[in-house]
Copies of this chain bind each other. A is one copy, B any other.
Amino acid sequence: MRSAVVLLSGGLDSATVAAVAKRDGFAVHAVSFRYGQRHVVELVAAARVAKHLGVLSHRVIELDLRAIGGSALTDDIAVPKGRDADEMVSSIPITYVPARNTIFLTYALGFAEVINASDIFIGVNALDYSGYPDCRPEFISAFEQLANLATKAGVEGERFTIHAPLIALSKADIIRLGMSLGVDYGLTSSCYDPTPTGEACGRCDSCQLRLRGFAQNNVADPIRYAA
């Protein structure tokens, strides 16, 4: 059974991706990051999802992203609320964390090399992507090229594949796919600004995209929202 490293944030997208990796026959090694994010509740969700999916291992890596600063997700900058869909996709919001996905993928690559895996799964999504540059197909393929040049395994002939199976799906498509694979979305957490007890705000970009995705499937989102 081949092993794959799956980036697991605890959100809806990465839970779906982990289920896809399992469906495709991989033994899943999940990796999450504690990077000074204000919504640490997502790490609790990642652990729940990892257990639910029966992954082979789940590790949480500490990252020092606050040291480089520059994002509403790690600094004391207000998370934007109530933006409409056009606004979300036409501008890069301040919730963008500089180089975050590159850092995540690079750790996944290092770990993959150590466990002799050559497949990495990431839940980036170019349609409902909130305008992040590091969620685009051209970014993924540039990283794949880099992976094969950056590593001992690559130099020795291993070919790394970065799987981004959600990249062309809408949020509604992702939810449909996950439901078909038995993902329990009640275990996931997507909100950029949850309450201390873990209820989603319902108004940040991420909550709005999620709620719309469930609505388009005529399914109720199973997580709790603040009143």
Contact = CB atoms under 8 A, between A and B. Distances in A.
Interface centre among A109, A134, A150, A151 (most CB of B within 10 A): A150
Given A67-B61, A102-B146, A146-B142, A152 B92 contact: yes
A69 interface: yes
A214 interface: no
Nearest to A137: B149
A227 interface: no
A139 B152 CA distance: 12
A69 B110 CA distance: 9
Contacts of A151: 98-99, 133-134
A208 interface: no
A110 B146 contact: no
Main secondary structure of the interface of A (DSSP, over half): helix
B114 A133 contact: no
Contact of A139 (B63, B102, B136, B146): B146
Interface in A106-136: 106-107, 109-111, 113-114, 133-134, 136
A61 B64 contact: yes
Interface centre among A61, A109, A138, A146 (most CB of B within 10 A): A146
A102 B109 contact: yes
Contact of A103 (B70, B110, B134): B110
Interface string A60-86: 011111011110000000000000000
A165 interface: no
A152 B106 contact: no
A217 interface: no
A161 interface: no
In the A-B complex, the 6 residue pairs with the smallest Cβ-Cβ separation, listed nearest first, are A99-B110, A70-B114, A98-B110, A68-B111, A98-B113, A133-B155
Interface of A: 59, 61-65, 67-70, 92, 96-103, 106-107, 109-111, 113-114, 133-134, 136, 138-139, 142-143, 145-146, 149-152, 154-155
5 contacts: A65-B110, A99-B107, A134-B150, A139-B150, A143-B150
